Chains A and B, each alone.
Chain A
Amino acid sequence: MIDKNVIMGKLNWILIFVALIVFPFVVQSPLLLHLAILIFLYIIISEAWNLIGGYVGQVSLGNAVFFGVGAYTAALLYLKLNVNLWIGLVVGIVFSAILSVIIGYICFRLHGVFFAFATLAVAEVFKLIFIIRKDITQGPMGVVLPYRGDSILDVSFASKVPYYFLTLAFSILAVFIVYYLSKSKIGYYFLAVKEDEIAAQSIGINTVLIKILAFMLSAILNSIAGFLYVTYIRYIDPYVAFGLDISLIQALLTILGGAGTVWGPVLGTIILIPLLEMFRIYFVMFSGLNYMLHGALLMVIILLMPQGVINITRRFIKWLKS
């Protein structure tokens, strides 16, 4: 019986994997492909927030800093110094990791709401710097990545399919990192720090180090997502890159799906991102209505399911099996 279940479980994963591979060849609609790419991108940043906010319980509202740094580093190095975009990705990751240690070292002296506001302020400062320093960043006009024919080196493709696989691969990486950590010593330490920092210290946990580690991983994933965004959209400006939208959505998707769980952010993203896109498309004539619907939906979900959709889903699966 148990063996059969294990095989069935593996079979399910293989089926999902095959479906994900086949999807872009079966589905020709650019809209659906675009939606899939967005979902993968948002899975990366919501898993990023899940690490620092969901597991370690530190509500960062400034993760856009790393998204922006990842996007701008690659784009500016490419345009101004002719550096290959993939090298730009690595440089962006290194910048983000270093920044996260500096920001973390300063902001982790604060707790709760004060930490949240401090990170929010850091993101706003970055936005202003990138707007004002026109000589380096091209200011509010933003940066455009030109299309120079299909090329893996330039991460430039006419078709959406390569972007589909690129974002899919990195979103699988993001989920795998969270899954792996959740089963490891670090995962237990993450949860312990969230539950009670003083008790965590009393059993030998260096809580500052744990928080900075989670923040750094969160920063690296955001940096990757920023890179993927700019290579896909081919344009970035400070308002998008360092905007509150990017910082908030990753928290919302995670909380909606289930913070501190491996699959919660994935579920939250799959549910909310298509809805948001639909609102945007169908309510285009009433400017702002999509934000109202979005807010109302969140209030309903948070009131009805404070532990996230994943909790209900688990109970539903249990009920199906019994």
Chain B
Amino acid sequence: MVEILKVENVTKRFGGIVALRQVSLTVEEGSVTSLIGPNGAGKTTLFNIINGYIKPNEGKIYFRKEDITKLPPQAICKRGIGRTFQENRVFANMTVLENVMTGALLHTSDVSEAESRALESLKIVGLHDKKNCIVKNLTILERKMVELARALSTRPALLLLDEIAAGLTGAEIAWLLELLKRINSKLNITLFIVEHVLKFVMRISDKVIVLDHGVKIAEGSPEEVASNSKVIEAYIGGEDIARS
């Protein structure tokens, strides 16, 4: 398989704290790869480095063999990496359609063309009926879908999803699982997921990577990772028992 994203020996220090230590990983084109780990493992930091919001102290990020380590976030988006945020960053005072159109305007200056593209993205995530609602009045799931549709409308090749299943009910997670599988296979978008909901990760991923205290401790198929003793220790052993 062809690798679409390559993280090479990335180290990030915040003052005296080492958030990431010599992390290397690859994401294969067309796959669904998940990044898991206890709170504070450095998952979101790694996402922010891939996206260009934070610059690493050492190491490099390659997207389709191009070094993107020093690029600003908007340039990285233009090359084909989309993203959703853990804290749900929608444009709260704009309508659903306007939110998604803003994403679609990346590839066109024609507002009506952006509108029709935005409507396509909204159909995919099932928010077509609510296109004229102001986003701040929507439910959590709906807001997450606005963010997803907005990212989709920039036509990414690789989509980074930061805790998209957090806070959702069991039925909603099952629905989301099907949606993401469809986005992966039908739209041919590679997914890279940070997630706490392990049931979700196990069912969607081709590959799972485990971070703990900024170090990669395991990598492999969901089954391999689930039976890895280091992973079990990181999750169940020691102080993390309450969170598992």
Residue ranges of A at the interface with B (Cβ–Cβ < 8 Å): 183-185, 188-189, 191-192, 195-196, 198-207
Contacts and interface: CB of A to CB of B under 8 A. Distances in A.
Query: Which 9 residue pairs across A and B have the least CB separation, nearest first?
Result: A195-B91, A199-B89, A204-B77, A201-B73, A204-B106, A203-B103, A192-B102, A185-B105, A185-B109
Interface stretch (B34-42, B93-101, B226-234): B93-101
B94 A203 contact: no
Given A185-B109, A198-B89, 19 more contacts: A183-B111, A184-B109, A189-B102, A189-B105, A191-B98, A196-B89, A198-B73, A199-B90, A201-B72, A201-B74, A202-B85, A203-B77, A203-B150, A204-B74, A204-B78, A204-B103, A204-B106, A206-B72, A206-B74
Of listed A191, A204, A205, residue having the most chain B CB within 10 A: A204
A53 to B, nearest CB: 15
A192 B100 CA distance: 11
B14 to A, nearest CB: 18
Interface string B130-168: 000000000000000001001100100000000000000
Contacts of A195: 91-94
8 contacts: A185-B105, A191-B98, A195-B91, A195-B94, A202-B83, A202-B85, A203-B154, A206-B74
B94 A201 contact: no
B51 interface: yes
B94 A191 contact: yes
Given A196-B89, A203-B150, A188 B82 contact: no
B74 A188 contact: no
Interface residues of B, number: 30
B2 to A, nearest CB: 24
Nearest to B91: A195
Interface of B: 51, 53, 72-74, 77-78, 82-83, 85, 89-94, 98, 101-103, 105-106, 108-109, 111, 114, 147, 150-151, 154
A199 B73 CA distance: 10
A192 B91 contact: yes
B89 A203 contact: no
A27 to B, nearest CB: 40
Of listed A188, A200, A202, residue having the most chain B CB within 10 A: A202
A203 B160 CA distance: 12
Nearest to A206: B74
Given A183-B111, A184-B111, A195-B93, A201 B77 contact: yes
B122 to A, nearest CB: 15
Contacts of B93: 195
A184 B102 CA distance: 11
A202 B51 contact: yes
Contacts of A183: 111
Given A191-B94, A195-B91, A196-B91, A203 B111 contact: no
B90 to A, nearest CB: 7
Nearest to B52: A201
